[in-house]
Amino acid sequence: MGQAAVAAGPFADRRSRTRDLLARYPFAREVLDLYGALLGVQENAYGEVISARPGAPDLVAYVAERVVPAVVEVTVATGPEKLREAVADRFHSSNPRELVAAWIGGEQQDLVDRYLARASVGPVLEALGADVASSCIGPRDERHCKTCGGVPQLSYFAVASEDLAAGGRFLLCSRCHSTWGYARMTCPGCGEDSSSRLPIFNEEGNASGERGSVVRGLEGRLGDHRKENKAVFPHIRIEACESCRGYLLNIDLLADPDAVPIVDEIAALPLDLYAGERGFSKITPNLMGF
Ligand SMILES: [Zn+2]
Ligand SMILES: [Zn+2]
């Protein structure tokens, strides 16, 4: 997650975590199969763009021509049926440059356009870093990515060796995957910091140290998946906000040091369903639309 991991390429860790979670979470097979296949395309794109080094003015054209076609191909080969059809359809009827430009420009997009743009732009921004990501449109404040202005996808508690300046809590950008420190018990959507308005939902047996105003009830939802009555997600909890009705999933690396937040977040579908049933909306849906 830090500089060293980026220099070596983040994809080996993501791939092996995806394999581990496929074995652990059969209910997430469909999204993890697609994500695992996408990682291969993203890793190639990451490697190629490091040699090609397009500048910010060429970013849209580069991604549209060099990455989008491979993302379409792997999705049509591996994705869930509805997504396959929608993606093939969209690729033939729309201009890839427009959908890439809209994502970089921070515009509203429908699910399919956003999926294609996001899966294609992500590895390119990760490889090129701030020089190019800084050309993306979006606010630069503590609730947005300092590098590209994107909104946070998830929150995580770092292991002790990482920078603990912000109490060990970090947010990960949905657009360029940069991370930044953020205060605990503060809503990343609206800045609410009154703990009575920040409900936390986690399973009994969750190993996350800090409790906050924990609301029980997930056991019923996860009953079918629980083995020997152990938590299905001992390291993930829902951090919601009564003020803006938003939420993010928080991944606690102290509770599971092998977790790769971007992968674990995608696999935690039942938590998203639970939050949705309680009337909360994720600050932004993840790559897979949840
Ligand atoms: Zn960013
Ligand atoms: Zn809020």
User: How confident is the model at residue 187, as a pLDDT?
Assistant: 98
Report CA(194)–ligand 1 centroid distance (Å): 27
* Structure confidence by residue, pLDDT tens digits, 238-265: 999 999 999 999 999 988 999 999 999 9
Q: What percent of the chain has pLDDT over 90?
A: 78
Report CA(249)–ligand 2 centroid distance (Å): 13
Report CA(227)–ligand 1 centroid distance (Å): 37
User: How confident is the model at residue 217, as a pLDDT?
Assistant: 62
For the chain, the C-alpha Rg in angstroms (whole number) is 18
Residue spans of beta strands (DSSP E) within the chain: 152-157, 169-173, 179-181, 199-201, 213-215, 236-240, 246-252, 281-282
User: How confident is the model at residue 220, as a pLDDT?
Assistant: 66
Q: Which of the ligands is closest to the CA of residue 186? A: 2
Report CA(196)–ligand 2 centroid distance (Å): 12
Contact assessment for residue 84 and residue 112, using Cβ atoms and an 8 Å cutoff: no
3-state SS string for 175-188:
CCCCEEECCCCCCC
Report CA(166)–ligand 2 centroid distance (Å): 19
Task: Give every CB contact of residue 276 below 8 A, 6+ residues apart in sequence.
Answer: none
Length of the chain, please? Answer: 290
Report CA(149)–ligand 1 centroid distance (Å): 6
Report CA(149)–ligand 2 centroid distance (Å): 18
User: How confident is the model at residue 92, as a pLDDT?
Assistant: 85
What pTM, to 2 d.p., does this model score?
0.91
Report CA(171)–ligand 2 centroid distance (Å): 14
Report CA(133)–ligand 2 centroid distance (Å): 26
* Structure confidence by residue, pLDDT tens digits, 53-85: 999 999 999 999 999 999 999 999 999 999 999
Report CA(243)–ligand 2 centroid distance (Å): 5
Report CA(138)–ligand 2 centroid distance (Å): 19
| Structure tokens, 93 | 């009827």
What domains does the chain contain, in order, with CATH numbers?
3-133 (no CATH), 152-282 (3.90.1670.10)
- DSSP code of 91? H
User: How confident is the model at residue 1, as a pLDDT?
Assistant: 41
The identity of residue 70, as a single letter, is: A
Kindly provide the b/e burial profile for residues 132-162, where b requires at least 16 CB atoms within 10 angstroms of the residue's own CB: bbebbebeeeebbbbbbbbbbbbbbbbeeeb
Tell me which residues of the chain have a pLDDT lower than 50.
Answer: 1-7, 166
